[in-house]
Chain A
Amino acid sequence: QSALTQPASVSGSPGQSITISCTGTSSDVGSYKLVSWYQQHPGKAPKLMIYEVSKRPSGVSNRFSGSKSGNTASLTISGLQAEDEADYYCCSYAGSSTLVFGGGTKLTVL
């Protein structure tokens, strides 16, 4: 069970859109619609942003959206704002009642 692969960092200017990828295998991301995304600001607990690939919890801005194609899931943030600067983690069900996280992506808003 290996960690999902995310880019170490992405950046964008305010108002722009960015996409963070999360690549797994046919044993995890590719086999289940059970990918979630978390936002983590420094020194804080993670916060759920997307679940079941593309569903948004109540209270999360509609600027955040999720999708999946094959073994890769993606988180897109549109209309970037300064407060979106944070670390983002993907997470997938990996079968046999286990979960696996991605390595995390640091988003910088320029």
Chain B
Amino acid sequence: QVQLQESGPGLVKPSGTLSLTCAVSGGSISSSNWWSWVRQPPGKGLEWIGEIFHSGSTNYNPSLKSRVTISVDKSKNQFSLKLSSVTAADTAVYYCAREVSSSWYFDYWGQGTLVTVSS
């Protein structure tokens, strides 16, 4: 059973950089799946942030592309998210998820972690 666990600071200052890591267990990050980040502002809907393949190939949401970097560390079986120049609008629960390759759906999700942007 694949499990994903997000970790990182729960509070980030405005204009700073949000950094999160997703540890994958029960499966290899070098499998044929893509690995995604999805966020959900409090009381609002889901937003896809972007994805990465174990080769390092990435795809990003065009609305966030200029501020997002997703990377992978195969030795630690984990992948990471960096979101720069954050504002209060970036306050959200951030989920990592496994995406089934070529079918574009998420079959495993982390529990999510709340990141608040505030001074």
Give A residues with C-beta under 8 Å from B: 1, 3, 34, 36, 38, 45-48, 51-52, 57, 89, 91-93, 97-104
Instruction: Assess the A48–B95 pair: CB atoms within 8 A.
Output: no
Q: Across the interface, which residues of A come within 8 angstroms of B60, CB to CB? A: 98
A97 CA / B65 CA spacing, docked (Å): 13
Give B residues with C-beta under 8 Å from A: 36, 38, 44-48, 59-63, 95, 100, 103-107, 109-112
Instruction: Assess the B107–A45 pair: CB atoms within 8 A.
Output: no
- Which of B38, B95, B106, B110 touches A36 (beta carbons < 8 Å)? B106
CB distance from B22 to the nearest CB of A (A): 12
Instruction: Assess the A1–B103 pair: CB atoms within 8 A.
Output: no
| 9 A/B residue pairs, CB under 8 Å, sorted by A | A1-B62, A36-B104, A46-B38, A51-B107, A89-B45, A92-B104, A101-B45, A101-B48, A102-B45
Q: Across the interface, which residues of B come within 8 angstroms of A1, CB to CB? A: 61-63
CB distance from B3 to the nearest CB of A (A): 11
Instruction: Assess the A103–B105 pair: CB atoms within 8 A.
Output: no
Q: Across the interface, which residues of B come within 8 angstroms of A3, CB to CB? A: 45
Interface centre among B47, B95, B100, B106 (most CB of A within 10 A): B106
The total of Cβ contacts below 8 Å across the A-B interface reads 63
Q: Across the interface, which residues of A come within 8 angstroms of B61, CB to CB? A: 1, 98-99
Instruction: Assess the B110–A45 pair: CB atoms within 8 A.
Output: yes
Instruction: Assess the A101–B46 pair: CB atoms within 8 A.
Output: yes
A102 CA / B106 CA spacing, docked (Å): 15
Instruction: Assess the B103–A52 pair: CB atoms within 8 A.
Output: yes
- Which of B36, B48, B103, B106 touches A100 (beta carbons < 8 Å)? B48
Instruction: Assess the A46–B109 pair: CB atoms within 8 A.
Output: yes
Instruction: Assess the B107–A34 pair: CB atoms within 8 A.
Output: no
- Which of B48, B100, B107, B111 touches A99 (beta carbons < 8 Å)? B48
Instruction: Assess the B104–A101 pair: CB atoms within 8 A.
Output: no
CB distance from B38 to the nearest CB of A (A): 8
Instruction: Assess the B95–A98 pair: CB atoms within 8 A.
Output: no
Instruction: Assess the A34–B106 pair: CB atoms within 8 A.
Output: no
